[in-house]
């Protein structure tokens, strides 16, 4: 699965124009905060918080075309739904790494001439 759906990002930029930058900045800040929430939920074995935070993050990632990231959050959402914490740290680390990669690719896309 590609890391970014560039056609969706282009569609957003066409619709939102320069406001797409604000949307991306808000997504980045919100996701960083929610990653901390996920980490705490994992430490506390709080399945409901894990499920709801990951669900929200999945939607945010999908709305920006970060399909691979959305799939990582979907996996964490399902872990929360099933209260499955065994070896979850690897899944969380993969989601963090994917987020960093997605943001790097989004910033690179933004820097390209329109």
In tens, the pLDDT along 3-17 reads 899 999 999 999 998
The verdict on residue 92 lying in a domain is yes
Q: Look at residue 1 and tell me if it is in a domain.
A: no
Q: How far is CA 50 from CA 15, 35, 38, 44, in A?
A: 33, 10, 6, 10
- Tell me the chain's radius of gyration from C-alpha atoms: 14
- CB 5 within 8 Å of CB 72: no
Residue 51 lies in a domain: yes
- pLDDT, one tens digit per residue, over 50-91 is 999 999 999 999 999 999 999 999 999 999 999 999 999 999
Domain range enclosing 10: 6-111
| Total number of domains in the chain | 1
* Residues ≥6 apart with Cβ < 8 Å to 99: 31, 35, 69, 72
Domain at 65, CATH number:
1.20.120.160
- Whether 71 is covered by a domain: the verdict is yes
């Amino acid at each position: 699965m590609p890391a970014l759906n560039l056609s969706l990002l282009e569609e957003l930029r066409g619709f939102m124009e320069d406001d797409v930058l604000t949307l991306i900045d808000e997504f980045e800040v919100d996701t960083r905060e929610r990653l901390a929430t996920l980490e705490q939920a994992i430490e506390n074995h709080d399945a409901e918080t894990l499920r709801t935070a990951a669900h929200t993050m999945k939607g945010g990632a999908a709305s920006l075309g970060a399909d691979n990231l959305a799939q990582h959050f979907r996996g964490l959402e399902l872990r929360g739904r099933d209260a499955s914490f065994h070896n979850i740290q690897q899944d969380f680390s993969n989601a963090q790494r994917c987020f960093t990669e997605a943001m790097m690719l989004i910033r690179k896309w933004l820097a390209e001439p329109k």
